[in-house]
Structure 1
């Protein structure tokens, strides 16, 4: 079973399942490219330098370890975090799960949602992403950043809330 199906109640259906927008991976990708370029320049400089072979080996290992640390911490970790973050809208609730080792999540029943709004600036509009803000009955508003196609998600969520409140609760 896929991720959303494993958390569904009997008869519950997924309306929408998203990971954060890919723009979250732009900075990690840039750091990966720059880090790899710097490691390559360092390795190239090291191979043409006039220092003894033991020092070259030690410095080569240091460059490789630094590069590996940068790649793991600034690229692989955000990539795995992006992949393990889920925004799921079902016909009964909104579910948000994230985390790699320590998972956390929140479920908001559709019946408890008071208002739904979205916000996105110029860059977010070009990339078709934004922040979804959900206000439920007894909590402060919750903000979900980098939701792909945030206007569509806003519309779908609004219709789920509206249809549930009217008692229609139609099944597509």
Structure 2
């Protein structure tokens, strides 16, 4: 049994498990490509134009800078994306984040008072957006880059309606 099934109660049903939309990886991947090409170009230039000791020092410096930028601008955001989970079950909404330090939030379906979504032109092109969940006792919680946000909104709204007990014989 894998994550998120490990976090569920024995009779709890998983309805949706997703990571943030892949569009949040565009800049990290672009950085990876550009920095790697630039490091390769500079490495070739240094190899052709410098003496052996200077060449070795400059190549190690280029490698160190390349690795630092790669870890800072690409590896970190990719790990953040991979370690962020948005989960909907038949009882609650779970959000889990973090690589070294984990944080989590559970919202019981019965505590959700409203579900909204928002997305602009670019988000609509990528089929993503921001999901806003209103809880009966707190400020609304906003989650960015939810894939297929309109479908998730409809699913969550349906789950909240199903979880809400009906009164008065309706």
TM-score w.r.t. structure 2 length?
0.95
Cα offset, 1:154, TM superposition: 0.3
Per the alignment, residue 14 of structure 2 pairs with 14
Secondary structure at 1:88 match in 2: strand
Report how many residues are paired. Answer: 166
Cα offset, 1:77, TM superposition: 1.4
Per the alignment, residue 73 of structure 1 pairs with 72
After superposition, the CA RMSD in angstroms is: 0.9
* Structure 2 counterparts to residues 150-165 of structure 1, below 5 A: 150-165=149-164
The 10-residue stretch of structure 1 (96-105 or 1-10) with the greater mean CA deviation from structure 2: 1-10
Per the alignment, residue 52 of structure 2 pairs with 53
Structure 1 runs (4+) greater than 2 angstroms displaced:
none
Cα offset, 1:37, TM superposition: 1.2
Secondary structure at 1:3 match in 2: coil
Q: Matched residues in 2 for 1:5 and 1:138: separation?
A: 28
Cα offset, 1:47, TM superposition: 1.2
Q: Matched residues in 1 for 2:103 and 2:71: separation?
A: 22
Per the alignment, residue 4 of structure 2 pairs with 4
Per the alignment, residue 145 of structure 2 pairs with 146
Cα offset, 1:166, TM superposition: 3.7
Q: Deviations over 1:61-111 (max 9, x none)?
A: 000111111112211111111111100000000000011100111000000
Per the alignment, residue 29 of structure 1 pairs with 29
Q: Matched residues in 2 for 1:131 and 1:82: separation?
A: 16
Q: Matched residues in 2 for 1:98 and 1:21: separation?
A: 14
5+ residue gaps, structure 1 = 168-172
Q: Matched residues in 1 for 2:56 and 2:154: separation?
A: 59
Q: Matched residues in 2 for 1:46 and 1:164: separation?
A: 65
Cα offset, 1:48, TM superposition: 1.3
5+ residue gaps, structure 2 = none
